[in-house]
Chain A
Amino acid sequence: MSLLDGPEPVLADRPPTAALPAPDEPSIGHRSPLALGTRRYLRNWLAVIGGVVLIAVLLTAFVLPLVMHLDPYAIDLRHTRRPPGHGHLLGTDGTGRDVFARLVYGGRISIGVGLAAAALAIVIGAALGSIAGTFGGWIDMMIMRTADIFLSFPSIVVVIVLAGIFGPSVWMLIVALGVFVWPTTGRVVRGVVITVREREFVQAARAVGAGRGWLITRHLLPAALSQIVVIFTLTVANCILQEAALSFLGLGVQPPRPSWGNMLTSAQGVTVISSMPWLWLPPGIAVALIVLCVNFVGDGLRDAVDPRQQSGRQS
């Protein structure tokens, strides 16, 4: 493409697959925003693959233990560090526990922590972001300055400080992650609120006497909903990654409870790394895979929700 072409049409941005509509489909004017968004999402094949793999991983972590007997805590000291096979799909660890069972249950915890922390961040971010955007002035300035400072504190360091003083725990991990990743949501919600605030329907509501609380909950937050969903996905990916790193360092989920991060902690010895890859490859691949998939889904959702914003514009 030559640069003289100027700004190109937005839809040319994604891979040109399935561009032609089927003859019996209604023309573009009749499609709902949801249908249009779904169409845009399905056109992004990375996002589709990401979504499929993500659903498969979620089913394995949350549904498989219901239909299959898996015990992540059963110790068998006669069969320690067995390679895959012999009734153990992914072998056994240093105390003879089944690696596959620990991987599945570890996934529940890692994904659960990620979801909980991201949900907390979204609640804080949406509340503070909409307040900042609606009120403006010094309230806006205070909230956004605080957001800047929170955002630049690496959550690893915050958890180190809290775990050092109070001892590590899962709840502290969730709260610390949630409290320190909210600014991303806050900024996005504030941005949407500021643009929607001056639109006619909001002015009309204000003219008939709607208060700020009503405006935020009935008009401004719903307008930001699609953006919030996108940010939520990307935040979940970030939180899963952080949880893994912190549990790896021994500051998050504590053994014997499994998590993808702490399963890798035992792999710091040279013997384990060189000759027992079944102990460290599966949890590492699991984290990378799910985070990658959630990121693909998040990017796909962003393009589907707002085609003007191209992927890669913000992290």
Chain B
Amino acid sequence: MGAFFVRRILTMIAVFLLITVIIFWLVHMAPGDPVSRLIPIDEYNAGTPAFIAQKRHDLGLDQPLIVQYFRWFGNAVQGNLGYSVASGRPVSSMIGERISPTIELMGLSLALGILIALPLGILAAVRKNGITDYLATVVSLVTISTPTFFLGIIAIYVFSLKLHLLPSSGMSNPNDGSPADLVRHLIMPVLILGLATAGQLTRYVRSSMLSELTSEYVRTALAKGMPMWQVLFKHVLRNALIPIITVIAIFLPGLLGGAVVVEQIFAWPGMGQLAVTAVTRQDNSVIIAFALLVSILVLLSNLLADVLYAVVDPRVVLK
């Protein structure tokens, strides 16, 4: 198993390097002067042509592409991701202050999604073709099919504008920084993203439970007189959870995609909102940093899925 993981991690690093090459190449193809992305924008705008040429030389932009790549990569690894064209601030600190709101949103939504999907999926599988099963299928299809931004607007309409219960945007009220205020701001974004997650997850839970319920060991356990609930929770659920845990790990990047949309609707100050704003301002250095972070998240969650698969299921022998 050790050899398997060493090989997996090496592949992962190779893929990551390939992705950085692609990102670097894309940025090289981008219109505009690369010097403007690497020094504070005020300095660039005020600079004489001679100053810009000097900077170009200092930054190594007159050197061969391959040399530039390694220089860029070296800087990125050390956390130096350049400056934002729009605000003139270093990108690393802009990203830094946006990460934790996004992680809060994603974590809570995932937790809510699991809390809804597990009982619903289990119930739907146990009472297959019953009313719960039917309801679970329809509800999950509806939440999968309705765009999150539409659900978000409906939620704002109902809870903020008609019932005046919850704030429609932001992370906190400037005049009230209490934890209760944060919770009030969290409810709607987490609810919307959590429901979207639950919709997809319920189908996996249901089908995983169904395929376990038809196993021989269930029949045996019931035949020797074990009560149904005990069979369910002691045997079936444990086995059914194995593929579900893997699916959840693979879900993480998609959850970030959903968070981008939800952050935009509720003006949640996270990474997704930063990235979308960066696109409208053609702020390339911020977008590159975002792309690198997402690539790392994608590769790590793929690795996590593999690791969990082996750890949770003792039958799995990896070579």
The interface of chain A, by Cβ under 8 A from chain B, is 1, 3-4, 6-7, 12-13, 145, 148-149, 152-157, 160-168, 237, 241, 244-245, 248-251, 261, 264, 267-268, 270, 273-274, 277, 280, 284-285, 287-288, 291-292, 295-296, 299, 310-315
Contacts and interface: CB of A to CB of B under 8 A. Distances in A.
Interface size class of B (residues with CB under 8 A): 35 or more
A250 B280 contact: yes
Interface in B268-310: 275-276, 278-280, 282-284, 287-288, 290-291, 294-295, 298-299, 301-302
Given A1-B128, A1-B129, A165 B27 contact: yes
Given A274-B161, A292-B142, A156 B260 contact: yes
A312 B206 contact: yes
Nearest to B32: A165
Contacts of B250: 152
Nearest to B148: A245
B265 interface: yes
Contacts of A160: 260, 275-276, 279, 287, 290
Contact of A287 (B11, B147, B295): B147
B156 interface: yes
B150 interface: yes
Contacts of B78: none
B141 interface: yes
Contact of A248 (B31, B149, B218, B280): B149
Nearest to B202: A312
Contacts of A250: 276, 279-280
B29 A165 contact: yes
Nearest to A168: B279
Contact of B137 (A251, A267, A311): A311
A270 B11 CA distance: 49
B161 A288 contact: no
Contacts of B288: 161
A86 to B, nearest CB: 24
Given A152-B250, A264-B149, A273 B157 contact: yes
A312 B302 CA distance: 23
Given A284-B146, A315-B200, 9 more contacts: A154-B256, A157-B275, A161-B291, A162-B26, A164-B275, A165-B287, A245-B147, A285-B150, A311-B137
Interface in B176-228: 200, 203-204, 206-207, 210, 213-214, 218-219, 222-223, 228
B253 A153 contact: yes
B166 to A, nearest CB: 13
A285 to B, nearest CB: 8
Contact of B256 (A157, A167, A313): A157
A248 B261 contact: yes
A6 B219 contact: yes
Nearest to B154: A284
Contacts of B45: none
A268 B294 contact: no
**A161, A244, A295, A311, most chain B CB atoms within 10 A:** A161
Contacts of A268: 265
A161 B213 contact: no
Contacts of B206: 312
Nearest to B203: A312
